[in-house]
Amino acid sequence: MKSVVVYTDGACKGNPGPGGWGAVLRYNGTEKQLCGGEPGTTNNRMELTAAIQALEQLREPCQVLLHTDSTYVMKGLTEWLPGWKRRAWRTADGKAVKNQDLWQLLDAACARHQIEWRWVKGHAGDPGNELADQLANKGCLQAGARVGAG
């Protein structure tokens, strides 16, 4: 099974507002950089989208070391998701889970891989996280430009 190292990040100018996501995938000495954005979104949606987009790039089951600076994404996948699924996508207090559409996509994207989640402190000098942040901000700028052009 291939071992892939992934860094993901999301950004938003305003919350909601123009947002972007970035991902860096590293395998066997090669690196792939991805980014994109949406004109009206939230930071949490962009954090989720970054992880989804990164995992969907993998054409076969892999061992993935996925770095994120989002405790929302990390805790959602490693702690909250089983309960949400048991409660038909409701939180412990009975409210609908926010961003359910993206959580379901991320859950499906994770299913075929062996993933080790690693939280990294954002803006603290981790080179992979800093690059993912730059890519997320690039996506954010592109989404903002589309807003202005509309």
Q: What's the pTM?
A: 0.94
Distance CA 129, CA 141 (A): 18
What gap in Å lies between CA 64 and CA 117, rounded to an integer?
8
Which residues does residue 71 pair with via DSSP β-bridges, in sequence order? none
- What amino acid is encoded at 113 in this protein? H
Each residue's pLDDT tens digit, 6-51: 999 999 998 899 999 999 999 999 999 999 999 999 999 999 999 9
Domain extents for the chain? Answer: 2-149
pLDDT at 150 > cutoff 50:
no
- Which residues are the active-site residues? 9-10, 47, 69, 123, 133
Tens-place pLDDT, residues 95-125 = 999 999 999 999 999 999 999 999 999 889 9
Q: Please state which CATH class domain 2-149 belongs to.
A: alpha beta
Strands (E), 13-139: 17-27, 30-41, 62-68, 114-119
* Annotated binding-site positions for Mg(2+): 9, 47, 69, 133
Amino acid found at 38: E
